[in-house]
Structure 1
Amino acid sequence: MRRISWSSWLLPLREAVADDAKMARAALLLLLLNISACSGFGFRSCSQNYAEADYIWCFNRMIDNISGVVNMLPENITAINLSKNMIRAIPPGAFARFARLKHLDLSQNKLFNLKGEEFKSLHLMVFLNLSCNNISNIHSNTFEGLTSLKVLLLSQNYLSGVFGLLFNLLPAIEVVDLSLNRLRSFSCEECGGSLTLKYLNLSVNNIQKVNVSCFPALMYIQLSNNTELELRPDTFDSNQQLSTLLLQSVKVEGLMGLSGQTKRDLIHVSFSIFAEKSPWMICDVLRGMDNVSKVEVDLKGSKLPASNTSLLDCPTPTTLHRLSLMKNEITELEPNVFHALTQLEQLYLQFNLLKSLKKKTFGNLYRLKKLNLSLNLICFIEEGTFQDLKNLRYLDLSGNRISRVTPSILSGLKKLTHIILYNNRLHFRSYEAPFIHLTSLEYLEMRYQGPGGYGIGDIGPDFFKGLQKLKCMQIGNSIKMNVHPGAFAPLISLKILYIYGVNLKEINLTAVLLPLKGLSKLMLNRADLDTLPAHLLPPNNSLEVLRVESNHIHTLSKEILDNLPRGVIDTESPDGTPYRTTPRDAKVIRLRVFDISENQLSCTCDNAWFKTWAINNTQIQVPYLYNLECDNGKSRYLWQFDDKACSYDQISLTLFISCTVMDVLFVFVCLTWHIQGPTLRFLLLMVKARLRGRKRGAGAKFQYDAFISYSSKDEDWVMGQLVPNLERPDAGALRLRLCLHHRDFRPGAAVLENIEAAIYSSRHTICVVTRSYLQSEWCSVEFQLASLRLLCDGSDVLLLVFLEEIPEHCPSPYARLRRIVHRKTYLLWPENPEEQDAFWVRLKDALKDSKDLEEEEEVDVGGEQWLAPLIG
């Protein structure tokens, strides 16, 4: 048994109801609900439709527990698409809280049996799709209460019979599809009758007998691929409104034996002619069908004689405007083969074996508007083949092997609005302009070009020349595609652009898309993008839908949102009435859908803004927000990422900068201290002395006459010579009080404090200068602190005693010492014992009360003038 596709009956169904507004809406909805879903704000496994906010799409989300999904949905929705999931059962009343629900799609699931009350309380339901499941049994009250149901689809299940007076439970039913089941008969006694049923599909079953006399309103019936079906001449006598009868793979004699009235009422007829019959039997079948306008003929196995110059060499109904010869293994079409069909408007030749198209093949078809040549083996089209098709609007050449399309091949198609070149072998060079004559073209589809490794090739600056009216274009899925930055410049009317499966990483998207100011929908799916440019489109663009699915984008810049266009837009208020934003609302973002699904985003603080924005915004839909996965193991989904720490980013940055500055300063201070330690130490001591302000009056009392500053290596001389001669002189001599480190420093106090206290408690400071003294850091501190007294109280108290000759360069670390050596008198310890008595006399004279001493040098105490030599 041959199984037919959805398109085999949906296409005639859609066309047959063109005059019936309600049924056209139902058929269109049937097609829409089988298309991949749009997006939403943030429902679990579902998303909200962009065009109509009360439509919810849960398409292909691996859902197995229907309750866990629908319980999260708002109650005011009118349509739910749950198709292509793993649902096995529907709990009773699962949709009861959706009182406004009108459309429900549960196709392509794993449903086995319907046990009753699954659709309870859905009084407004008009469309129910249960096709492509495993349903073998339906309880009698399953559809009870569906008083508004108009469309019921049960195709591709395992039903062996029509259950308990189905049509009696559905008083408003108009469309029923029971194709691709296991029905053996169909009669009014089994299923009940209906005064409203108009369209019935019973194709691809095992039906032998059919009785549809209880459907007086029936307009369309499809019985194709019921190979054992037998039709009586009076089968359709009760169906006075029947206009479409599809009987492919059914014995053609059944059509020839129909009553004259039935044949006169038919408008659309489909039948098959088998191998043993002549193809000219078409004429016999059409005889008496004076009003037929659409004919679909299955000639599979029948061979047209080579000498035949016309497919129909017989008078054809003057109303015939649609002819389908699809799936007939036709290998060649001779010139003028259709010349007798002067009224023909639609010609379908897809699914044949055509290899080439010759000039005049479609001669005399001046009224032809639609030509479908898809899914053949066409590799060559002669120039001028379409030149007689002055009124052609739609041309489908997809699924062939065409490698070359030129302006000469497409000449004459001035009114063409749609051309489909999908899945061919086209390859272009940068200088080509193949569509220059298609000035009315509005839709161009040219994805999947190959094989051979070439792909679509180079899209040069003139490639789209002449396509000023083009509104929608699909391009991509090509191994190689280079786009010139100015290629899209002629496309001033382009609204929708799809680019799939092309490596756009090396292409300057901003430059390429710059001319497209009127673009409303942009799809860049599977384009190998690592980043999304912030300035993707020109300023003041009209973008409403942006999809970048299935790329390698890990991080989103907030500049993308900041650069989105804002302006006055048309929308709807909460009560459904049209609403147009006013100038004060002009900051409303035009974008309505931002789809970044199937990109593994980095769950880091770089994307924390996007997570927060996507969850909280009520203006822009983010498709499948709760299914956006992370590219690391910390969180599986973006919405689960804990971004609390990211709120401290600014503080962290400030702390980081502060710590960095402090570290640099610390290192700088350490290096400076290491290099200029003594100088810095002196400065600190000087500042400390200034702050303390230890100034003593002229008559101040001192605890000691002199503080002895010396190196530990010179301690023997100090204790053996200096101390005895100054503190314990001969009887009658002046006794002096000396301050010594080991004897007079206060235990437990800091060394610096002891040194400072000793200097300021002594009238003088005696520095015992030797080479060891000059190398000692503590001696340096003592010398510098003693020098500070000049700053504090204006007195120079230093007395220098040299125990040995010091070369000129040795005192250089101490500028003050060097200065004293050069400008003041100092004492030198004589090696000759006879001169030592004179040394002590001179030292004691220098230690007398400072009131009787004269300053040996003038010192400027004005601050900076002495500071430089002091530390130099």
Structure 2
Amino acid sequence: MGDHLDLLLGVVLMSSPVLGFSPCSSNGLIAVYYFCNLTEVPQVPNTTERLLLSFNYIKSITATSFPFLEQLLLLEIGAQFTPLTIDQEAFRNLPNLRILDLGKTQIDFLHLDAFQGLPRLFELRLFSCGLSDAVLKNGYFRNLESLSRLDLSFNHIHSLALHPSFRELNSLESVDFFLNQIPIVCEPELQPLQGKRLSLLRLASTTLYSRVSVDWERCMNPFRNMVLDTLDVSGNGWTVDIMRNFSNAITGSQIFSLVLTHHIMGPGFGFQNIKDPDQNTFAGLARSSVRRLDLSSGFIFSLSYRLFEALEELKLLSVAQNKINKIADEAFYGLNNLQVLNMSFNLLGELYNSNFYGLPNVAYIDLQKNHIGVIQENTFRSLGKLSTLDLRDNALKTINFISSISTIYLGGNKLVTLPNIPLTANFIQLSENKLENLNNLYFLLQVPHLQILILNQNRLSFCAQPPVPSENLSLEQLYLGENMLQLAWETGSCWDVFKGLSRLQVLYLHNNYLSFLPPGVFSYLIALKTLSLNSNRLTVLSLGDLPPNLEILDVSRNQLLAPDPHVFAPLSVVDITHNKFICECELSTFIKWLNQTNVTIIGSPDDIYCLYPNWLLGTPLYSLSTEDCDEEESLKSLKFSLFILFTVTLTLFLMTVFVVTKFRGSCFLCYKTAERLLLKDQTQTREPDTYRYDAYLCFSSKDFEWVQNALLKHLDTQYSNRNRFNLCFEERDFMPGEDLIANIHTAVWNSRKIICLVSRHFLQDGWCLEAFSCARSRSLADLNSTLIMVVVGSLSQYQLMKHASVRGFVQKQQYLRWPEDLQDVDWFLSKLSRHILKKEKKKEQDTSIPLQTVASIS
């Protein structure tokens, strides 16, 4: 099928202006006439080697259609838009033609001697030409002594009764009958091919043996005395019985590769009406020297006992894309020479120690895209020559079963951590897992002889304990893209993760949210040549940030504003596209370097553009001029003097602001001390009122310890004689045994102020919210600011607005926030005290007489 793409590929390539071809023309060696509305073969130079005439309206080819083209090797004349007639010796003027392509053309008439005069023809493409059995029966291919490949796919051939002239085709190696309708092939029909060796005989999707009842005693062995490197009988709907009868019929025929994909053997998942293959299914192939068997894309549910016992020479077995859920004991018994086993895309859930018994020489096992969640510890340890194990896209949570395997694919599983087991691999792929702890990376870097480590698309973000850096002298490539190294590095940990990797040559750190590079993090990587930092958040790169011998750097899609060109000067290749360049005079040095450097800049010039100012948004840096920036140099001295004067003035101002801001807590204490000294003669007595408590403190019981330390010890009189407020709170002042709502109501109406300490626990406590509603009701009734709301912790406006009672207060009144800085606490307590002491205007007594009363008096 790959050769059938030549026409489409030719259209794309030949129409490309890059190759220098204009349509419907020749350059002396190649003549391209696609879609030129030709009705006959054009005149071309006699030096032409390739003549491409597809997609035209040529109706006939005769012996005089072509001039004498001695050097022509390839002729494409397929895909004509009209039916084609090919006359006697139509190609006789092309004595050295090697490839003749007539595919995708409806051939209305084909003379029996149409292909005569082509002694060197190597490949003949007749796919999808509407040909019938006659093309095989009537000797159309006589005297084609060099013919090696014959493509007759997509035609209307119903019988393979070959003309005796096929015996003369001693160079014939490949015959393709794909997608014809050939219900049966028996020994007499293919007798002209006996004694030959074919690299490919393709009988796929021909309904072979699946829609007729075959008398194998009369049909006999269709491949007798033939050697087939590859026999493709895929897509014919073969059941277990058809396969068993076929294998018994061809006993003794040498078939090194048997392709039987898209079969219907096996019941699939949840059905029992079709049998799985058993020990007898392939028994007839015992003497056929089958070395490759492809049973993929079927419905096999269970691999039964000694299923492949007869295939002693088998080296490659594929049962991929079936429905395999069970592997019987000794299912692979007898496959002593098997080297590659492909069981991907099945329904395996567990693997047991006995599953792969009988595979002493297997080197590669592909188990990707199953549902494997559990593997017994010794499942693979008896496979002494197993070097590659592919377990991608399963559901594994541990790797205790891994032994001395050199290449391990474990991507797309559910690994959260790695056990401390000895590994000897030189290639480990662990991408798309759930590894978070960077200690797992430190552990993997200790694996001896490890050369390539892939950890992309994990969650590496922290170090649980300070690990010991590795001394790995073998690792050459490390892929850590799409993790979260920023979270680890911003805590100051894991900065030595690359220490000891003296032979590392390739490092990928893309998509790690990096906003900075730890000092010296790459200084150990003396052999590093390629570094990818793309799609991060880097705003600056300094000279010491990069490895000493780096050659290729990718910092595209970062946030570099005005990079230093000296950083990139030692490199050979750099990608700086899609950064956020600020196109002001500070960037002029970089722009000059960009236009003069010998460093290879990857990407289109249009991808290196300004982001700011807005009037230059999207403008390529290459198109900017720096002349205006040079004029500013003369003003630098004046600007510097003004800068010094301004700096001194600003420094004095900022020092004052700094002292007040930085030590505002101490300043406030000094202010209060002075206030007490100056006003010591004034009485500190307070006017009596009718309230029992100064304030009711409403908070969640889960916050009691914090409230006690932060508020009660500094405000409540019972905690200290220096305090001035008589506070009410649930743990001390509520009447035990009394209804909680009644207690809340009493506290609210017997306190001058109600202070609600709104925290996360407060919002989750229904009683607290009930108390808040009661306090708000009183505040509304008194028409004053009785309710004081203090937000504690990092609660957002959105979180507050989710609660109806709180939302009503927040929308109409101001609230306080507990300070995050400890030095602001004294100031806040003083402010809160003033709120508690603040006298509210009393409501004027209503002296009006209700209308109802007036009526009764009258």
Q: TM-score, normalised by structure 2?
A: 0.49
Q: Which has the larger radius of gyration?
A: 1
TM-score, normalised relative to structure 1:
0.49
